[in-house]
Structure 1
Amino acid sequence: MANTWLPPAQYVDTLPRATAYACLHFTDTAGRPLQLKATYTTESWQWPGGNMDPGETPWETAVRECREETGIVFAGRPRLLGTHFVTDRGEDWPANHIGFIFDGGELTDGQVAGIVLDPEEHSEYRLQTLEEWQREMSPRDFLRLAEIDRARRSGATVYVETGPAAV
């Protein structure tokens, strides 16, 4: 197929598939990361966020999903902390998964107290130190959290891959 021109729709059919998600990473005033416990997946702890809808940008997704899942109306500007590439979601998921994790900043005690979860998606939220999170999360999921937290503290953007060979 080298050097063979294809109409765009046919060319796109030859490319790998990927879905995308976007989320916001928050901490409290003590620097402890916020995560939500999902009711619908084995990856039980996650940031406020979700899969992109058609026509949405990653930033729009992160802000919308945060509002829907926590009640937090985020009005800050986009600051990308990192991207996450998931190489293996199982045989029943025919695409890679790419995540965009943005900095949600620091939540005040009042903002934390005002979190309202969607009970169909999340059963609880927690703010814990990285050491506490490490005891509760799989190594694969904790790697993602630790790298994003490091990015936030250092000001550098990170790229994280998780999959069967990554952890």
Structure 2
Amino acid sequence: MAKTWLPPAEYIATLPRATAYACLYFTDTAGRPFQLRSVYGSEAWQWPGGNMDPGETPWETAVRECHEETGIAYDGEPRLLGAHFLAPCGEDWPANHIGFIFDGGMLDDEQIAAVVLDPEEHTEYRVCTLAEWEREMTPRNFQRLAHIDRARREGAAVYLETAAFI
């Protein structure tokens, strides 16, 4: 079978579709993860972040979304903690979804108290121990949190896969 060269636009049309998100992972000074309660979907707790806009890099997305969702103007350097691949979920989300989780560092009590949420996206924020988060989260989302927390403590990025998401 002879291979035929396709112009880039035609070739790209044959590839799987994908969307991407990026976020910042913060802890308080005691090492407890900081998360936001979303008004969307079944996965209530998440990190400051969101879907990439056209022309934006994952890092730019994480910083922009963090500022929009919390008021935190993060100015640190990019440090990747993990990449996350989520398979399509039928008509609910018919594309791959790829995530980039960056280390946002530690927030002190003053920074946490100054968080201003966008009420159209999040209803509250919390810092909890991993054991407390495990009781609050779905097992799938908690595993992602635990892996990212370990990646930060051990200094090595992780790759995660989720079969399908809603």
| TM-score, length-scaled by structure 2 | 0.96
Q: Any residues of structure 2 matched to 1:1-167 within 5 Å, and which?
A: 3-163=3-163
Distance 1:89 1:28 in 2: 34
Distance 2:74 2:117 in 1: 15
Distance 1:107 1:48 in 2: 13
Residue 3 of structure 1: how far off its partner (Å): 1.6
Residue 2 of structure 1: how far off its partner (Å): 5.8
Tell me, which stretches of 5 or more residues in structure 2 are unaligned?
Answer: none
Residue 43 of structure 1: how far off its partner (Å): 1.0
Cα distance change, pair 90–135 in 1 and its aligned pair in 2 (3 A): farther
- Write the deviation string for residues 46-89 of structure 1: whole angstroms up to 9, x where unpaired: 00000000000000000000000000000100000000111143
Residue 93 of structure 1: how far off its partner (Å): 1.4
Distance 1:52 1:146 in 2: 24
Q: Is the Cα contact below 8 Å between 2:88 and 2:94 reproduced in 1?
A: no
* Amino acid aligned to 2:57: T
Q: Name the SS of the counterpart of 2:4 in structure 1.
A: coil
- Write the deviation string for residues 12-66 of structure 1: whole angstroms up to 9, x where unpaired: 0110111000000000011000110000211110000000000000000000000
Distance 1:143 1:89 in 2: 19
- Write the deviation string for residues 104-127 of structure 1: whole angstroms up to 9, x where unpaired: 000011000000000000000010
Distance 1:32 1:139 in 2: 18
Distance 1:80 1:5 in 2: 35
| TM-score, length-scaled by structure 1 | 0.95
Distance 2:149 2:3 in 1: 44
Paired-residue identity, %: 74
* Amino acid aligned to 1:65: E
* Amino acid aligned to 1:138: T
Runs of 4 or more off by more than 2 Å in structure 1?
88-92
Residue 4 of structure 1: how far off its partner (Å): 1.2
